[in-house]
Amino acid sequence: MTVREDTRRTGPVRGRETCRIAVEPAELTAHHLVREAVFVHEQRLFPGSDRDAVDDDPATLHVLGFVDDHAAGSVRLYERGPGEWKGDRLAVLPGRRAGHLGATLVRFAVATARERGGHVMIAYVQQPNEPFFRHLGWTRVGDPFDYVGQPHVRMDIALR
């Protein structure tokens, strides 16, 4: 398997948390299954599938988060313009939210965008998750807005 792996820990966790960019077809399938479980079945934000044209772009990076080698989270990131990256579709399976996998995924995405020359990363965050992102160093930009029927806020983080 050819993947990039990050084994940094973010503090005490219930299991070993790692992230890597999904490359193999089975990894991409696992990435999409995590998103489907959270955004389609649990939160009912999308009917049938949350996939869109961004997923089909070969430049999009699909990241898988693992707890003790079991796929349990995902996030995707992509460059929107020179130096501006966007992270979205952050998902952690319900049974794995007690640890720090969400923070590990966000930090991995930020580090990856920085390593690829990014100067800023943005995300549209469900409004109840704003404090989580603030804790990770993100800043809210503007007023809340509706996205797929839920209040979201734009947040960003400087990468340089």
pLDDT over threshold 70, residue 147:
yes
CA distance 3 to 105: 15
Quickly state the pLDDT bin for 77 (edges 50, 70, 90): very high
**In the chain, how many domains are there?**
1
HSE on the CB side for 88, CA within 13 Å?
Answer: 20
> pLDDT confidence of 3, banded at 50, 70, 90?
very low
Q: For the chain, how far is it from start to end, CA to CA, in angstroms?
A: 31
14 pLDDT exceeds 90? no
Say if CB 31 and CB 63 are below 8 A apart. Answer: yes
Q: What is the CATH number of the domain that holds 78?
A: 3.40.630.30
Summarised one tens digit per residue, pLDDT across range 28-60 is: 999 999 999 999 999 999 999 999 999 999 999
> The tokens 């965008």 sit on which residue?
113
Is 26 or 14 the better-scoring residue by pLDDT? 26
User: What pTM did the predictor assign?
Assistant: 0.89
User: Burial of 55 by CB count in 10 Å (0-12 exposed, 13-18 middle, 19+ buried)?
Assistant: middle
Q: Is 85 exposed, middle or buried (0-12, 13-18, 19+ CB in 10 A)?
A: buried
Amino acid at 13: V
Q: Return the pLDDT at 98.
A: 85
Is residue 119's pLDDT more than 60? Answer: yes
Looking at the predicted structure, is the pLDDT value of residue 102 above 80? yes
Work out the mean pLDDT of the chain and round it to a whole number. Answer: 91
- Structural domain includes residue 88: yes
Question: For residue 65, what are the β-bridge partners?
Answer: 19, 73
Q: What is the domain extent for residue 28? A: 5-122
Task: Measure the CA–CA gap between 159 and 90, rounded to whole angstroms.
Answer: 19
H helix or E strand, kind and range, residue 26: helix 25-35
- Give dist(CA 131, CA 2) in Å, integer: 35
159 in a domain, yes or no? no
% of the chain exceeding 90 in pLDDT = 88
Asked whether residue 147 is domain-assigned, the answer is: no
